[in-house]
């Protein structure tokens, strides 16, 4: 995003390549050379440090030798986890109030983080017959490293968040307790090749200084195995066979010649070879299918993205043995798949997996602002991505730990990692934008960063590219640095020059565009094949603000801030962005008032926001979906900016910090149904889009238009609709440009049924006979102005609707499923517009995360819809599930759970509800 114009799960991946910079410079900085030590049989191991005691150097006057010696007292120091920034540790210790609430973060003094901090940890060595190494990355921004009172490396060697380091500390450790201490340098993303927050959120006061990945104590014999990986070659399009080439570095760390047997297995295939290594020699050991026919697989289990097939994974296990004893081991998981991304006739990048082209439907990923790793929270968000029908996550910087990619592999979520814009990473090529120019010292750090990330990510089938630029492509020198590192790592997927429409000498045109928008535009914007509209590959785009639910707003803002939120569009919003461009919600609020009418209170503001966000996000994904198979200027990819936020935010998110779901979430979910009927804002066509592989025939599409009083004004049914697979579309009909007597604001109901008459897709639009008018001539980098708004104010005249509900809950293996049937029980003609069901506990707090089969549905009198919610039983906190039902014209009612068979009439709320639950809730 731009300022331009903008196992221990990690352990097995740590067998990846040693970053040459870190090792070589560390040795030059004082790491003692190895000396021969008599060896006995060892058990290779990798153990992460369990955590640290941390303290500011401003409060520690003792020497590094003292601080890093066993037994040094740390009274008054702060505890920190094994992956922790300084501020994350202080927050966990209760030093500061919740920074996600109001402006609490402003009260954290930034001066505390302008000096280095000590990270100190002990580890135990049972004997000294093995070699011992420190293996790590994720230091932000740099560190001097000491072991048992002696320096093992200095900050010039251990620099950069992504560089990988292995320090041979065999001669520094002793039997029993040993101590390692890192003196962490302050971070400045404009000066260091680390991580920054651009304009996503208010940046953390410590700028994420700390150690954010595991530090491993590795132990083994004289021969070390490193850089183990598998290069796969899949026969496409037949998928009938695959060739596997296994590679690893065998390194003799002793002062004598050693013969090692390197043996491995992949499933039932076993292979081995003997390798003789001179003293301190490192050699690549390869197992090719020509020499080892068992590595030629017939009918391989192929890895597919979710929705396209299974997520088959293989395991590589290697052992280096000396004198029949294991000296070291390595383990890697990998998938067999083929990724291509050529440029189409329009110059847009078109991805294909295993020979099948697909529309990239993605979201921009944000980690927790304080880089606190929570595997459950990350898994929940990735499952949300699948629930939304997305297939891809883009990581602009903040490239997550190994477990993230393990989860993506398992779930079938494609990933697009890459370097970030607007700081040091692009400082050499981005003119006057933020980010210092590079010095000679930055180039080896950049190359080591690329080498380490390439080695770490290459075996993950979910990773389908690396973006070596974001807003700007690297210059020739930097690009070659990156490409050489990727090539050396056997990187097999496309290397993309930039996320913007730029090119580089080696990798060529990016095939992507970064035209935004990043702030409000109307739904019809997405259908125009210009700027950010549905053509080509848009790497980051959305209509900007996303106002969370009332539940979340009340968790993140004070009453006074909430009052300002709906009353003052020109007010600076701390929870939007530090950027002056995105400081207020004025563009968004003006559109909300212009289209829906001025808000009358906070509830009304949030109600209108959910409606607006639903229609806009739905239109974005629908437009790209409809355009994917166009013969002229097709859409090949769209990344919603963003998928989530790292803190409590008012913009750029499909789901909020607490995993609550509003209009944006369910608009995206509706648009990305596998078989979907949709209305086109540009030409009024009704299209059926089929994201499934198999073609479908015998469909029936029906479109009905209604006035806001429920009077039917137009109705047409078309039978015999057929649509191909893999994202094909079929136009079922076109709604007339004018319908006699239609009110200015009106509703369109689209129904799609299969050959047996079962409803397979349902979609409801609120539209106007007055169109939103865009001023493309005055488009800037973040939006296209709107000179006239669609008139949707007629929705305010919708009569109250009666909604009844019944629900049943079952529980098994810690997971509960609540099935809710909603029915519009009104006797008139008025629909219940955008009816939302929230599952809440006894305190009225939303049960989150939750995955609904559908939600925010619109029902006409007599219509019903059955929705299913799946969630963790523990998140009910021992209470029975409760339903809170609300909608545009449906009064809010919360109905308590009841034992099986009981009923709970709501009476004055015009809602009849039966809640049934099994004995689990008694």
Which residues are designated catalytic?
Answer: 471, 540
Q: Give yes or no for a contact between 135 and 165, defined as CB atoms under 8 angstroms apart.
A: yes
DSSP percent split of the chain into helix, strand, coil, nearest 5: 20, 35, 45
Beta strands per DSSP E along 169-239? 176-184, 210-211, 215-220, 223-234
* Number of H-type helices and E-type strands within the chain: 12, 52
Decide the pairing of beta strands 52-56 and 495-496.
unpaired
* Of 316, 19, 317, 35, nearest in space to 160 by CA: 19
- In angstroms, rounded to a whole number, what is the distance separating the alpha carbons of residues 453 and 442? 16
- Any idea of the CA torsion for 409, 411, 416, 417, to the nearest 10 degrees? -60
Q: Cis omega (within 30 of 0) on the bond before 636?
A: no
* Of 122, 50, 54, 61, nearest in space to 90 by CA: 54
- Any idea of the CA torsion for 641, 644, 648, 650, to the nearest 10 degrees? 30
* Of 181, 495, 460, nearest in space to 332 by CA: 460
List CB contacts of 775: < 8 A, sequence separation 6 or more: 784, 785, 786, 787
> Alpha carbon of 360 to those of 31, 222, 347, 350, 465: distances in Å?
47, 47, 16, 9, 12
Structure tokens that stand for 594 in this block: 């212009």
* Of 886, 871, 870, nearest in space to 837 by CA: 886
CB pairs under 8 A, 24+ apart, for 172-175? 172/32, 172/147, 172/148, 173/125, 173/128, 173/132, 173/147, 173/148, 174/125, 174/128, 174/148, 175/125, 175/126, 175/127, 175/128
C-alpha 48: how far from its chain's center?
A: 25
- In angstroms, rounded to a whole number, what is the distance separating the alpha carbons of residues 183 and 67? 10
List CB contacts of 415: < 8 A, sequence separation 6 or more: 392, 393, 394, 395, 405, 408, 460, 462, 463, 464
3-state secondary structure string, 355-393? CEECCEEEEECCCCCCCCCCHHHHHHHHHHHHHCCCCEE
Q: What angle do CA 211, 213, 214 make, to 5 degrees?
A: 105
Q: What angle do CA 893, 387, 461 make, to 5 degrees?
A: 160
Q: Cis omega (within 30 of 0) on the bond before 456?
A: no
Half-sphere exposure of residue 669: CA atoms within 13 angstroms, side-chain side = 21
- In angstroms, rounded to a whole number, what is the distance separating the alpha carbons of residues 707 and 713? 7
- Any idea of the CA torsion for 82, 83, 85, 87, to the nearest 10 degrees? -70
Q: Give yes or no for a contact between 134 and 125, defined as CB atoms under 8 angstroms apart.
A: no
- In angstroms, rounded to a whole number, what is the distance separating the alpha carbons of residues 915 and 820? 9
- Where residue 344 falls (left for φ over 0; alpha for ψ -120 to 50; beta otherwise) is beta
* Of 59, 186, 206, nearest in space to 115 by CA: 186
**Angle, helices 20-28/442-457, rounded to nearest 10 degrees:** 130
- In angstroms, rounded to a whole number, what is the distance separating the alpha carbons of residues 624 and 348? 13
- Where residue 30 falls (left for φ over 0; alpha for ψ -120 to 50; beta otherwise) is left
């Amino acid at each position: 995003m731009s300022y331009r114009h903008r196992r221990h799960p990690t352990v097995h991946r740590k067998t990846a390549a040693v970053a040459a910079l870190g090792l070589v410079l560390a040795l030059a900085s004082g790491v003692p050379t190895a000396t021969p030590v008599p060896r006995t049989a060892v058990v290779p191991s990798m153990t992460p440090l369990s955590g640290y005691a941390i303290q500011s150097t401003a409060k520690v006057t003792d020497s590094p030798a003292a601080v890093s010696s066993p037994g040094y007292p740390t009274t008054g120091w702060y505890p920190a986890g094994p992956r922790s920034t300084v501020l994350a540790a202080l927050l966990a210790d209760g030093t500061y109030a919740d920074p996600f609430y109001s402006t609490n973060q402003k009260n954290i003094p930034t001066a505390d983080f302008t000096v280095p901090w000590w990270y100190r940890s002990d580890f135990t060595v049972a004997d000294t017959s093995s070699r011992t190494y420190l293996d790590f990355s994720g230091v932000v921004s740099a560190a001097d490293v000491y072991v048992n009172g002696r320096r093992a490396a200095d900050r010039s060697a251990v620099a950069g968040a992504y560089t990988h380091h292995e320090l041979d500390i065999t001669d520094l450790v002793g039997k029993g307790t040993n101590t390692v201490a890192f003196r962490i340098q302050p971070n400045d993303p404009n000066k260091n090749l680390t991580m920054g927050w651009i304009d996503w959120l208010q940046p953390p006061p410590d700028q994420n200084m700390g150690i954010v990945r595991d530090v491993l104590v590795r132990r083994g014999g004289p021969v070390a195995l490193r850089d183990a990986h598998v290069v796969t070659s899949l026969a496409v399009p037949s998928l009938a066979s695959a060739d596997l080439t296994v590679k690893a570095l065998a390194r003799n760390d002793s002062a004598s010649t050693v013969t090692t047997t390197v043996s491995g297995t992949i499933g039932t295939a076993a292979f081995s070879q003997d390798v003789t290594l001179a003293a301190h020699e490192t050699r690549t050991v390869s197992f090719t299918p020509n020499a080892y026919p068992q590595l030629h697989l017939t009918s391989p289990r192929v890895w597919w993205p979710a929705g396209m097939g299974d997520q088959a994974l293989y395991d590589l296990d290697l052992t280096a043995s000396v004198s029949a004893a294991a000296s070291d081991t390595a383990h890697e998981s990998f998938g067999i798949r083929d990724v291509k991304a050529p440029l189409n006739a329009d110059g847009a990048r078109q991805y294909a997996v295993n020979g099948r082209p697909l529309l990239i439907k993605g979201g921009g990923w944000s980690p927790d602002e304080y880089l606190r790793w929570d595997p459950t929270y990350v898994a929940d968000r990735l499952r949300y991505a699948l629930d939304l029908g997305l297939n891809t996550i883009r990581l602009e910087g903040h490239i997550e730990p190994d477990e993230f990619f393990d989860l993506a592999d398992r779930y079938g979520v494609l990933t697009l990692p890459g370097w970030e814009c607007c700081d040091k990473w692009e400082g050499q090529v981005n003119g006057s934008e933020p980010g210092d120019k590079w010095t000679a010292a930055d180039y080896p750090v950049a190359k080591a960063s690329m080498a380490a990330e390439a080695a770490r990510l290459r075996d993950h089938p979910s990773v389908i590219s690396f973006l070596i630029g974001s807003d700007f492509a690297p210059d020739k020198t930097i690009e070659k640095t990156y490409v050489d590192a990727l090539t050396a790592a056997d990187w097999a997927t496309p290397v993309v020059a930039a996320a913007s429409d730029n090119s580089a000498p080696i990798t060529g045109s990016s095939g992507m565009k970064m035209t935004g928008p990043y702030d409000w535009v109307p739904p019809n914007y997405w259908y125009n094949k210009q700027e950010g509209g549905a053509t080509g590959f848009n790497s980051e785009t959305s209509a900007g603000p996303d106002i969370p639910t009332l539940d979340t707003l009340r968790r993140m803002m004070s009453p006074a801030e909430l009052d300002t939120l709906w009353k003052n569009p020109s007010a600076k919003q701390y929870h939007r962005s530090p950027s002056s461009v995105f400081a207020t919600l004025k563009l968004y609020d003006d559109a909300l008032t212009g289209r829906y009418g001025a808000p009358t209170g906070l509830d009304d503001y949030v109600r209108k926001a959910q409606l607006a966000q639903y229609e806009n996000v739905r239109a974005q994904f629908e437009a790209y979906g409809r355009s994917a198979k166009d013969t002229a200027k097709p859409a090949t990819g769209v990344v919603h900016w963003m998928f989530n936020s790292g803190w409590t935010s008012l913009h750029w998110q499909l789901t909020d910090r607490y995993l609550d779901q509003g209009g944006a979430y369910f608009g995206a979910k509706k648009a990305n149904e596998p078989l979907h009927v949709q209305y086109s804002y540009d030409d009024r066509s009704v299209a059926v889009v089929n994201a499934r592989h198999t073609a479908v025939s015998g469909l029936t599409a029906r479109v009905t238009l209604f006035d806001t009083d429920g009077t039917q004004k137009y109705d047409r049914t078309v039978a015999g609709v057929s649509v191909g697979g893999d994202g094909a579309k079929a136009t079922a009909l076109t709604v007339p440009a004018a319908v006699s007597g239609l009110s200015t604001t009106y509703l369109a109901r689209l129904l799609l049924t299969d050959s047996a008459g079962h409803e397979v897709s349902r979609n409801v639009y609120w539209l106007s006979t007055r169109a939103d008018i865009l001023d493309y001539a005055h488009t800037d980098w973040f939006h296209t102005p709107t000179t006239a708004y669609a008139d949707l104010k007629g929705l305010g005249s919708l009569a109250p609707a009666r909604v009844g509900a019944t629900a049943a809950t079952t529980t098994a293996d810690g997971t509960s499923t609540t099935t809710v049937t909603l029915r519009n029980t009104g006797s008139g003609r008025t629909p219940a517009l955008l009816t939302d069901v929230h599952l809440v506990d006894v305190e009225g707090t939303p049960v989150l995360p939750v995955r609904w089969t559908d939600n925010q549905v619109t029902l006409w009198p007599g219509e019903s819809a059955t929705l299913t919610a799946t969630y963790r039983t523990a998140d009910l906190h021992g209470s029975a599930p409760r339903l809170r039902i609300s909608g545009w014209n449906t009064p809010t009612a919360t109905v308590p759970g009841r034992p099986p068979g009981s009923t709970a009439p709501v009476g004055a709320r015009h809602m009849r509800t039966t809640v049934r639950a099994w004995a689990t809730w008694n």
